Amino acid sequence: MSLAYIGVGTNLGNKLENIKRAIEELNSLPATKVIKTAGVYETEPWGYKEQDWFLNTAVALETELAPEELLEALLQIEAKMGRVRHIRYGPRVIDLDLLWYEGEERQGEKLTLPHPRLTERAFVVLPLLELWPDGEIKGMSLREAAARLKKEQGIRKFKNL
């Protein structure tokens, strides 16, 4: 089994229910088990500002799926839940990002690990820090990234799941 971290976000419909359903879907993947979920954060939009604030969290899971298989499964869950891609960084019922996969570093057209913009986004770093307090991505500790991003981006703790 390999450890992986998934970012979960939503800003359409019943946001909290969307997150709970996505976590249930992750836990139902073959050879995969959700082992921990971070608290939920309310975050301002990133990239495309003319939309509602998001709810975001991160999930730690153990999986036997290869990184590419896991990414494909995430895309299938998004489609099943009604994700439509119209505007880059635009509104979405659910967004699932493969942030980090144990032992994997790669840069490809479909999959880059760790996620290329992971340390640029408070809505990713703060929940991930809860799951991985000693985490380090490409020489930057998650703690350092969180301290910087909390000052730069709108984010507040919403609730624990």
List residues with catalytic annotation: 83, 92, 95, 97
The answer to whether 57 touches 18, Cβ cutoff 8 Å, is no
- Cβ–Cβ < 8 Å for 99, 132: no
| b/e burial code for range 1-28 (CB count within 10 A of at least 16 → b) | ebebbbbbbbbbeebeebbbbbbebbee
CA dihedral sign of residues 15, 17, 21, 26? positive
Q: Is 56:45 a contact under the CB 8 Å cutoff?
A: no
First CA to last CA across the chain, in angstroms?
A: 25
Sort strands 54-63 and 32-37 into parallel, antiparallel or unpaired. antiparallel
